[in-house]
Amino acid sequence: MRKGFWKGALVAVMCLAFVGGISTFVTAGSKGAATYTLDKCQKRKAPVAFNHEAHQGRTSCKTCHHKMEKGKDARACFECHKCKKGAAPSAASAFHHTCKGCHKKEHKGPTKCSGCHKK
């Protein structure tokens, strides 16, 4: 009887640890870095320091990370949005549309070039 109890207890603890570890991984992994520097495509304008942490919780992650799959971490924007036009809109086009559109709609944040592209 004691052997079966400890075996069951061990299995229960391992299951809880596994499930807890997954939820922690998904939650922690989904948050990303606090800030990002968007500079891959910049040739004429200064890089953009994007405060990712300040934008979290304002809207759904899918607003920007629209290709997220359930239970997986968000993909980096540049994985799909390259510097040149292709299958997806270019990175600059996607950022300008998404960021400026939201800033205008919410009446918060910069909408002029120099508001994001700071030297």
Count of CA atoms in the C-beta half-sphere (13 A) of 106: 13
This prediction has a pTM of 0.61
| 61-94 pLDDT per residue, tens | 888 888 777 667 777 788 888 888 787 888 888 8
Q: Where are the domains of the chain?
A: 1-31, 33-116
Distance CA 109, CA 119 (A): 18
Whether the per-residue pLDDT at 1 is higher than 80: the answer is no
| 21-56 pLDDT per residue, tens | 333 233 334 577 888 888 888 788 899 998 988 888
Residue 31, Cβ neighbours under 10 Å: how many? 13
Query: Domain spanning 33-116: which CATH class is it, in words?
Result: alpha beta
Residue 112, Cβ neighbours under 10 Å: how many? 9
